[in-house]
Amino acid sequence: MWGRRDMNDLLFELPLPEFFDLPACLEYMNRSPLECLFRSDGEGVTRLFMLEGTPSLVRLTVAAGTPRLQATLLTGAFPGPKPLAELAQYIVEWFDLERDLAPFYRLADADPLLQKLAASERGLRIIGIPDLFEALCWAILGQQVNLAFAYRLKQQLTAEYGKSLEYEGHTYYHFPGPETFLQVSMEELCSLQLTRSKARTLLDVAALIAGGELSREELLALPSPEAAEQRLLKIRGIGLWTSQYVRMRCLRDATAFPVGDVGLQNAVKFLTGMDRKPTPAELLALSVPWHGWEAYATFYLWRALY
Protein backbone atom coordinates (compact mmCIF):
# COMPACT_ATOMS: atom_id res chain seq x y z
CA MET A 1 0.00 0.00 0.00
CA TRP A 2 2.59 2.56 1.04
CA GLY A 3 5.03 4.18 -1.36
CA ARG A 4 8.47 5.75 -1.02
CA ARG A 5 9.84 9.09 -2.13
CA ASP A 6 12.10 7.43 -4.71
CA MET A 7 9.17 5.86 -6.59
CA ASN A 8 8.34 8.89 -8.78
CA ASP A 9 6.63 10.49 -5.78
CA LEU A 10 4.18 7.61 -5.37
CA LEU A 11 2.54 8.05 -1.98
CA PHE A 12 0.58 4.80 -1.88
CA GLU A 13 -1.73 2.48 -3.75
CA LEU A 14 -5.21 1.48 -2.64
CA PRO A 15 -6.90 -1.77 -3.69
CA LEU A 16 -10.09 -1.12 -5.64
CA PRO A 17 -13.31 -2.99 -4.93
CA GLU A 18 -15.48 -4.77 -7.45
CA PHE A 19 -17.73 -2.38 -9.36
CA PHE A 20 -15.45 0.62 -9.37
CA ASP A 21 -14.98 2.59 -12.58
CA LEU A 22 -12.75 5.66 -12.33
CA PRO A 23 -13.87 7.13 -15.71
CA ALA A 24 -17.51 7.01 -14.56
CA CYS A 25 -16.56 8.80 -11.33
CA LEU A 26 -14.48 11.36 -13.22
CA GLU A 27 -17.33 12.08 -15.62
CA TYR A 28 -19.55 12.92 -12.67
CA MET A 29 -16.81 15.02 -11.06
CA ASN A 30 -16.30 16.92 -14.30
CA ARG A 31 -19.95 18.00 -14.55
CA SER A 32 -19.23 21.68 -13.89
CA PRO A 33 -16.40 23.87 -15.20
CA LEU A 34 -16.85 25.95 -12.03
CA GLU A 35 -15.63 23.18 -9.72
CA CYS A 36 -12.71 24.72 -7.82
CA LEU A 37 -11.59 22.04 -5.34
CA PHE A 38 -10.17 19.55 -7.83
CA ARG A 39 -9.37 19.15 -11.52
CA SER A 40 -10.44 15.96 -13.27
CA ASP A 41 -9.65 14.72 -16.75
CA GLY A 42 -10.02 11.46 -18.62
CA GLU A 43 -7.28 9.71 -16.68
CA GLY A 44 -7.40 10.99 -13.12
CA VAL A 45 -8.14 13.76 -10.66
CA THR A 46 -5.80 16.23 -8.96
CA ARG A 47 -6.57 17.88 -5.64
CA LEU A 48 -4.81 20.17 -3.19
CA PHE A 49 -4.44 18.80 0.34
CA MET A 50 -2.87 20.27 3.44
CA LEU A 51 -0.40 17.67 4.70
CA GLU A 52 1.40 18.60 7.91
CA GLY A 53 0.52 22.23 7.21
CA THR A 54 2.06 22.15 3.73
CA PRO A 55 0.00 22.66 0.56
CA SER A 56 0.47 19.37 -1.29
CA LEU A 57 -0.91 18.54 -4.71
CA VAL A 58 -1.97 14.91 -5.06
CA ARG A 59 -3.04 13.15 -8.26
CA LEU A 60 -5.14 9.96 -8.32
CA THR A 61 -5.03 7.52 -11.21
CA VAL A 62 -5.64 3.81 -11.70
CA ALA A 63 -2.49 1.79 -12.25
CA ALA A 64 -2.53 0.35 -15.77
CA GLY A 65 -3.73 -3.24 -15.85
CA THR A 66 -4.29 -3.47 -12.10
CA PRO A 67 -7.25 -2.83 -9.79
CA ARG A 68 -5.31 -0.28 -7.72
CA LEU A 69 -5.74 3.43 -7.20
CA GLN A 70 -2.42 5.27 -7.16
CA ALA A 71 -1.88 8.51 -5.22
CA THR A 72 1.06 10.51 -6.56
CA LEU A 73 2.56 13.57 -4.89
CA LEU A 74 3.08 16.37 -7.42
CA THR A 75 4.20 19.11 -5.02
CA GLY A 76 5.04 19.34 -1.34
CA ALA A 77 7.16 17.36 1.10
CA PHE A 78 6.62 13.64 1.54
CA PRO A 79 4.40 13.35 4.66
CA GLY A 80 4.92 11.17 7.70
CA PRO A 81 2.98 7.99 8.46
CA LYS A 82 0.04 9.62 10.31
CA PRO A 83 -0.90 12.24 7.67
CA LEU A 84 -0.29 9.63 4.98
CA ALA A 85 -2.77 7.28 6.65
CA GLU A 86 -5.27 10.14 7.08
CA LEU A 87 -4.94 11.01 3.39
CA ALA A 88 -5.54 7.38 2.41
CA GLN A 89 -8.66 7.24 4.59
CA TYR A 90 -9.91 10.51 3.10
CA ILE A 91 -9.59 9.06 -0.41
CA VAL A 92 -11.32 5.83 0.64
CA GLU A 93 -14.26 7.89 1.91
CA TRP A 94 -14.16 10.33 -1.02
CA PHE A 95 -14.80 7.46 -3.45
CA ASP A 96 -16.75 5.22 -1.03
CA LEU A 97 -14.27 2.40 -1.65
CA GLU A 98 -15.28 0.24 1.31
CA ARG A 99 -18.85 -0.33 0.13
CA ASP A 100 -19.96 -3.53 -1.61
CA LEU A 101 -22.21 -2.40 -4.48
CA ALA A 102 -23.31 -5.90 -5.52
CA PRO A 103 -26.61 -5.69 -3.52
CA PHE A 104 -27.37 -2.30 -5.07
CA TYR A 105 -26.86 -3.59 -8.59
CA ARG A 106 -29.05 -6.62 -7.92
CA LEU A 107 -31.99 -4.41 -7.05
CA ALA A 108 -31.18 -1.71 -9.64
CA ASP A 109 -30.94 -4.25 -12.48
CA ALA A 110 -34.50 -5.35 -11.68
CA ASP A 111 -35.89 -1.84 -11.27
CA PRO A 112 -37.58 -0.21 -14.30
CA LEU A 113 -36.41 3.26 -13.31
CA LEU A 114 -32.82 2.39 -12.39
CA GLN A 115 -31.82 -0.47 -14.69
CA LYS A 116 -30.60 1.64 -17.64
CA LEU A 117 -28.67 4.00 -15.37
CA ALA A 118 -27.18 1.05 -13.47
CA ALA A 119 -25.90 -0.32 -16.77
CA SER A 120 -24.59 2.94 -18.24
CA GLU A 121 -23.03 4.15 -14.98
CA ARG A 122 -21.66 0.80 -13.76
CA GLY A 123 -18.89 1.44 -11.28
CA LEU A 124 -19.96 4.96 -10.34
CA ARG A 125 -19.76 5.52 -6.60
CA ILE A 126 -21.15 8.32 -4.50
CA ILE A 127 -18.46 10.97 -4.54
CA GLY A 128 -18.34 11.96 -0.91
CA ILE A 129 -17.40 15.10 0.96
CA PRO A 130 -15.54 13.62 3.97
CA ASP A 131 -15.00 16.98 5.68
CA LEU A 132 -18.12 17.94 7.66
CA PHE A 133 -17.60 21.69 7.39
CA GLU A 134 -17.11 21.55 3.64
CA ALA A 135 -20.15 19.27 3.27
CA LEU A 136 -22.35 21.57 5.34
CA CYS A 137 -21.13 24.66 3.50
CA TRP A 138 -21.80 23.07 0.11
CA ALA A 139 -25.30 22.09 1.22
CA ILE A 140 -25.96 25.55 2.66
CA LEU A 141 -24.75 27.25 -0.53
CA GLY A 142 -26.97 24.94 -2.59
CA GLN A 143 -30.18 25.69 -0.72
CA GLN A 144 -32.90 26.87 -3.13
CA VAL A 145 -30.55 27.83 -5.99
CA ASN A 146 -29.57 26.12 -9.22
CA LEU A 147 -26.41 24.05 -9.39
CA ALA A 148 -24.45 26.57 -11.47
CA PHE A 149 -25.04 29.37 -8.98
CA ALA A 150 -24.14 27.08 -6.06
CA TYR A 151 -20.82 26.31 -7.76
CA ARG A 152 -20.22 30.02 -8.31
CA LEU A 153 -20.83 30.74 -4.62
CA LYS A 154 -18.42 27.98 -3.60
CA GLN A 155 -15.80 29.26 -6.02
CA GLN A 156 -16.06 32.80 -4.64
CA LEU A 157 -15.99 31.64 -1.02
CA THR A 158 -13.00 29.37 -1.62
CA ALA A 159 -11.03 31.96 -3.59
CA GLU A 160 -11.62 34.57 -0.90
CA TYR A 161 -10.86 32.49 2.21
CA GLY A 162 -9.14 29.27 1.13
CA LYS A 163 -5.52 28.47 0.39
CA SER A 164 -4.30 28.13 -3.18
CA LEU A 165 -1.36 26.83 -5.19
CA GLU A 166 -0.25 27.45 -8.78
CA TYR A 167 0.89 24.42 -10.75
CA GLU A 168 1.49 24.11 -14.48
CA GLY A 169 -0.74 27.04 -15.36
CA HIS A 170 -3.65 26.10 -13.09
CA THR A 171 -4.71 27.38 -9.68
CA TYR A 172 -5.68 24.72 -7.15
CA TYR A 173 -7.71 25.64 -4.08
CA HIS A 174 -8.16 24.14 -0.64
CA PHE A 175 -11.49 24.77 1.09
CA PRO A 176 -11.13 27.01 4.15
CA GLY A 177 -11.50 25.49 7.60
CA PRO A 178 -14.15 26.64 10.08
CA GLU A 179 -11.66 28.60 12.17
CA THR A 180 -11.10 30.90 9.19
CA PHE A 181 -14.62 32.29 9.62
CA LEU A 182 -14.46 33.15 13.31
CA GLN A 183 -13.45 36.71 12.44
CA VAL A 184 -15.55 37.02 9.27
CA SER A 185 -18.69 39.16 9.34
CA MET A 186 -22.04 38.45 7.78
CA GLU A 187 -21.63 41.54 5.59
CA GLU A 188 -18.37 40.16 4.17
CA LEU A 189 -20.09 36.93 3.18
CA CYS A 190 -23.06 38.78 1.73
CA SER A 191 -20.64 40.71 -0.49
CA LEU A 192 -19.90 37.33 -2.12
CA GLN A 193 -23.61 36.98 -3.03
CA LEU A 194 -24.61 34.84 -0.07
CA THR A 195 -28.00 35.71 1.37
CA ARG A 196 -28.06 36.89 4.97
CA SER A 197 -29.69 33.61 5.98
CA LYS A 198 -26.97 31.50 4.35
CA ALA A 199 -24.22 33.73 5.73
CA ARG A 200 -25.61 33.46 9.24
CA THR A 201 -25.95 29.66 9.03
CA LEU A 202 -22.43 29.27 7.65
CA LEU A 203 -20.99 31.37 10.46
CA ASP A 204 -23.01 29.46 13.07
CA VAL A 205 -21.77 26.12 11.71
CA ALA A 206 -18.19 27.39 11.59
CA ALA A 207 -18.39 28.47 15.25
CA LEU A 208 -19.87 25.13 16.34
CA ILE A 209 -17.22 23.05 14.57
CA ALA A 210 -14.29 25.29 15.45
CA GLY A 211 -15.43 25.29 19.08
CA GLY A 212 -15.67 21.49 19.23
CA GLU A 213 -19.45 21.49 19.69
CA LEU A 214 -20.10 19.66 16.41
CA SER A 215 -18.00 17.08 14.58
CA ARG A 216 -18.32 14.30 12.06
CA GLU A 217 -17.05 11.87 14.70
CA GLU A 218 -19.85 12.93 17.05
CA LEU A 219 -22.51 12.46 14.37
CA LEU A 220 -21.18 9.04 13.35
CA ALA A 221 -21.11 7.94 17.00
CA LEU A 222 -24.85 8.61 17.45
CA PRO A 223 -27.14 5.56 17.54
CA SER A 224 -28.55 6.04 14.03
CA PRO A 225 -28.43 8.27 10.94
CA GLU A 226 -31.80 9.64 12.03
CA ALA A 227 -30.25 10.73 15.33
CA ALA A 228 -27.48 12.48 13.43
CA GLU A 229 -30.11 14.21 11.33
CA GLN A 230 -31.95 15.42 14.44
CA ARG A 231 -28.67 16.83 15.75
CA LEU A 232 -28.17 18.77 12.53
CA LEU A 233 -31.76 20.01 12.48
CA LYS A 234 -31.16 21.79 15.79
CA ILE A 235 -28.87 24.23 13.95
CA ARG A 236 -30.66 27.33 12.72
CA GLY A 237 -30.83 27.30 8.93
CA ILE A 238 -30.35 23.52 8.59
CA GLY A 239 -33.48 21.86 7.23
CA LEU A 240 -34.44 18.41 6.04
CA TRP A 241 -32.88 18.71 2.59
CA THR A 242 -29.55 19.93 4.00
CA SER A 243 -29.41 17.26 6.70
CA GLN A 244 -30.28 14.49 4.23
CA TYR A 245 -27.65 15.75 1.81
CA VAL A 246 -24.99 15.70 4.54
CA ARG A 247 -26.05 12.20 5.58
CA MET A 248 -25.61 11.11 1.99
CA ARG A 249 -22.38 12.87 1.00
CA CYS A 250 -20.49 13.14 4.31
CA LEU A 251 -21.82 10.51 6.72
CA ARG A 252 -21.92 7.80 4.01
CA ASP A 253 -25.50 6.86 4.88
CA ALA A 254 -26.84 4.78 2.00
CA THR A 255 -30.41 5.17 3.32
CA ALA A 256 -30.45 8.98 3.03
CA PHE A 257 -33.20 10.06 0.67
CA PRO A 258 -33.55 13.81 -0.01
CA VAL A 259 -37.12 13.76 -1.32
CA GLY A 260 -37.14 17.56 -1.40
CA ASP A 261 -34.26 17.65 -3.88
CA VAL A 262 -35.31 19.38 -7.10
CA GLY A 263 -32.79 17.41 -9.15
CA LEU A 264 -34.20 14.13 -7.90
CA GLN A 265 -37.74 15.30 -8.62
CA ASN A 266 -36.80 16.42 -12.14
CA ALA A 267 -35.00 13.16 -12.87
CA VAL A 268 -38.00 11.07 -11.85
CA LYS A 269 -40.34 13.37 -13.81
CA PHE A 270 -38.13 12.98 -16.90
CA LEU A 271 -37.71 9.22 -16.65
CA THR A 272 -41.37 8.45 -15.93
CA GLY A 273 -42.83 10.97 -18.39
CA MET A 274 -44.87 12.69 -15.69
CA ASP A 275 -46.36 16.08 -16.56
CA ARG A 276 -45.33 17.43 -13.14
CA LYS A 277 -42.74 16.84 -10.45
CA PRO A 278 -43.48 13.92 -8.12
CA THR A 279 -44.50 14.76 -4.58
CA PRO A 280 -42.38 13.64 -1.61
CA ALA A 281 -45.04 11.01 -0.84
CA GLU A 282 -44.84 9.68 -4.40
CA LEU A 283 -41.05 9.51 -4.19
CA LEU A 284 -41.23 7.62 -0.91
CA ALA A 285 -43.64 5.12 -2.46
CA LEU A 286 -41.39 4.76 -5.50
CA SER A 287 -38.36 4.12 -3.29
CA VAL A 288 -39.76 1.11 -1.44
CA PRO A 289 -37.84 -1.39 -3.64
CA TRP A 290 -34.64 0.63 -3.04
CA HIS A 291 -34.73 0.13 0.73
CA GLY A 292 -31.26 0.50 2.17
CA TRP A 293 -29.92 2.02 -1.05
CA GLU A 294 -31.95 5.22 -1.40
CA ALA A 295 -28.85 7.43 -1.52
CA TYR A 296 -27.31 5.43 -4.36
CA ALA A 297 -30.61 5.42 -6.25
CA THR A 298 -30.70 9.21 -5.89
CA PHE A 299 -27.11 9.60 -7.03
CA TYR A 300 -27.74 7.51 -10.13
CA LEU A 301 -31.01 9.27 -10.91
CA TRP A 302 -29.18 12.59 -10.88
CA ARG A 303 -27.07 11.27 -13.76
CA ALA A 304 -30.19 11.25 -15.95
CA LEU A 305 -30.07 15.05 -15.96
CA TYR A 306 -26.51 15.65 -17.19
Q: What is the pLDDT of residues 113-167, one digit of tens each?
A: 999 999 999 999 999 999 999 999 999 999 988 999 999 999 999 999 999 999 9
Q: What is the pLDDT of residues 39-63, one digit of tens each?
A: 999 899 999 999 999 999 999 999 8
Binned at pLDDT 50, 70 and 90, residue 266 comes out as: very high
pLDDT (average), residues 286-297:
97
Q: Where in the chain is the domain with CATH 1.10.1670.40?
A: 100-121+254-306
pLDDT (average), residues 250-276:
95
Bigger pLDDT: 69 vs 7: 69
**Level-2 CATH architecture, domain 100-121+254-306:** Orthogonal Bundle (1.10)
pLDDT (average), residues 178-205:
97
**Level-2 CATH architecture, domain 10-98:** 2-Layer Sandwich (3.30)
Is pLDDT above 70 for 108?
yes
Q: What is the 3-state secondary structure (H, E, C) of the chain?
A: CECCCCCCCEEEEEECCCCCCHHHHHHHHCCCCCCCCEEECCCEEEEEEEECCEEEEEEEEECCCCCEEEEEECCCCCCCHHHHHHHHHHHHHHCCCCCCCHHHHHHHHCCCCCHHHHHHCCCCCCCCCCCHHHHHHHHHHCCCCCHHHHHHHHHHHHHHHCEEEEECCEEEEECCCHHHHHHCCHHHHHCCCCCHHHHHHHHHHHHHHHCCCCCHHHHHHCCCHHHHHHHHHCCCCCCHHHHHHHHHHCCCCCCCCCCCCHHHHHHHHHHHCCCCCCCHHHHHHHCHHHCCCHHHHHHHHHCCCC
Which pLDDT value is given to residue 3? 42
Q: Among this protein's residues, is 109 annotated catalytic?
A: no
pTM of the predicted model as reported, rounded to 2 decimal places: 0.94
Which pLDDT value is given to residue 261? 94
Average pLDDT of the chain? 94
Choosing from 41, 96, 261, 275, the catalytic residue is 261
Q: Where in the chain is the domain with CATH 3.30.310.20?
A: 10-98
pLDDT (average), residues 250-264:
96
Which pLDDT value is given to residue 8? 55
Q: Where in the chain is the domain with CATH 1.10.340.30?
A: 132-249
The hierarchical CATH code for the domain 132-249 is 1.10.340.30
Which pLDDT value is given to residue 6? 41
